């Protein structure tokens, strides 16, 4: 199992997506060291961050393929982007904070030399950092996950599924790929959008566990957190960190 507490609460992009007001810190921006530290100060042991690559083969923290200026990150340098680099975040984040890297591959990964693709650039950083802290990698790109599964088996990997992605596909795909986790969007789970084709979340989670998978859900609201906990999910990636912790009685 990946997570020491069920369900583990993971801060989404740090303390939450977008600009998040934090008592004593003002407003912190997502995917920054300040946001990661703010999440940790609420008692979280895991934080999720987004990672993508730039033209000079660096990895920076950003959810979208474009930067704040609208330019495609893969067409400019890391320095020009003004975004924190993954190396900087690894160096500055206390090692008792575990990191879930949501890796965003780019179109150029289909055609660039293998040594320049996102997975290849990430591999040596992960290999070094895995000696210092708990890590995992999640991604919508199964090719990246299979690459890392084979090259660095000590770091668990999980398949992210998109909005209202059928659970019967997501769970079976993650198991068939030999991954350690499946990460389901909350809209896929049947609470927000009931689906007569979908068996209960409890049934799906139990099946995933039988297949050897941890089940993560993103991003349930605080009002729904207890229902996900009752369904047996292993982790929740959340924006409403204080609210979810309160809903779980923590």
- Cβ contacts of 149-152, under 8 Å, gap ≥ 24: 149/177, 149/178, 149/179, 151/119, 151/123, 152/123, 152/126, 152/127
Q: Tokens 């407003």 belong to which residue?
A: 27
Q: What pLDDT shows up at residue 24?
A: 80
Q: How far apart are CA 162 and CA 151, in angstroms?
A: 26
CATH 3.20.20.190 fits 156-250, yes or no: yes
Q: What is the pLDDT of residues 142-180, one digit of tens each?
A: 999 999 999 999 999 999 999 999 999 999 999 999 999
Both tokens of residue 174? Answer: 């993650």
Q: What pLDDT shows up at residue 214?
A: 98
Sign of CA dihedral 60, 61, 65, 68: negative
Q: Tokens 């409890």 belong to which residue?
A: 202
Q: Specify the CATH number for 19-133; select among 1.20.120.330, 2.60.120.260, 3.10.100.10, 3.20.20.190.
A: 3.20.20.190
Q: What pLDDT shows up at residue 188?
A: 96
pLDDT exceeds cutoff 90 at 193 = no
Q: With bands split at pLDDT 50, 70 and 90, how would you rate the model's confidence at 243?
A: very high
Q: How far apart are CA 88 and CA 246, in angstroms?
A: 32
**Domain residue extents for the chain:** 19-133, 156-250
pTM higher than the cut 0.85? yes
Q: What is the pLDDT of residues 209-241, one digit of tens each?
A: 999 999 999 999 999 999 999 999 999 999 999
DSSP 10: E
* CB 106 within 8 Å of CB 85: no
Q: What pLDDT shows up at residue 83?
A: 98
Q: Tokens 């997570």 belong to which residue?
A: 3
Both tokens of residue 54? Answer: 């730039």
Q: How far apart are CA 2 and CA 79, in angstroms?
A: 34
DSSP 238: E
Q: Do domains 19-133 and 156-250 have the same CATH topology?
A: yes
Q: What is the secondary structure of 84-139 as a DSSP string?
A: PBHHHHHHHS-TTSEEEEEE---GGGGTS-GGGSHHHHHHHHHHHHTTTS-EEEEE
Q: What pLDDT shows up at residue 1?
A: 84
Beta strand 46-53 pairing with 26-29: unpaired
Q: How far apart are CA 134 and CA 15, in angstroms?
A: 18
State phi, psi for 214 to the nearest 5 degrees. -80, 150
Instruction: Provide the CB-side half-sphere exposure for 56 (13 A, CA).
Output: 8
Q: In 3D, which of 173, 194, 208 has the Cα closest to residue 2? A: 208
* Burial class, 159, CB count within 10 angstroms (exposed 0-12 / middle 13-18 / buried 19+): buried
């Amino acid at each position: 199992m990946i997570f020491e507490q069920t369900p583990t609460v993971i801060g989404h992009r740090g303390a939450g997506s977008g600009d998040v007001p934090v008592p004593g810190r003002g407003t912190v921006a997502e995917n920054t060291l300040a946001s990661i530290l703010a999440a940790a100060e609420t008692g979280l042991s895991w934080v999720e961050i987004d990672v993508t690559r730039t033209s000079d083969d660096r990895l920076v923290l950003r959810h979208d393929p474009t930067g704040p200026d609208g330019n495609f990150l893969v067409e400019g340098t890391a320095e020009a982007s003004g975004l924190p680099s993954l190396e900087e975040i690894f160096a500055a984040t206390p090692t008792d904070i575990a990191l879930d890297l949501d890796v965003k591959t780019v179109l150029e990964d289909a055609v660039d030399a293998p040594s320049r693709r996102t997975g290849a650039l990430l591999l040596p950083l992960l290999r070094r950092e895995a000696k210092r802290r708990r890590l995992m990698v999640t991604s919508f790109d199964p090719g990246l996950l299979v690459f890392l599964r084979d090259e660095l088996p000590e770091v668990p990997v999980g398949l992210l599924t998109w909005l209202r992605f059928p659970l019967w596909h997501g769970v079976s795909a993650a198991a068939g790929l030999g991954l350690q986790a499946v990460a389901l969007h909350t809209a896929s789970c049947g609470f927000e959008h009931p689906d007569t084709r979908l068996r209960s979340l409890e049934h799906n989670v139990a099946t995933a566990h039988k297949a050897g998978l941890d089940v993560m859900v993103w991003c349930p609201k605080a009002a729904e957190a207890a229902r996900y906990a009752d369904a047996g999910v292993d982790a929740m990636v959340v924006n409403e960190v204080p609210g979810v912790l309160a809903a779980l009685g923590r």
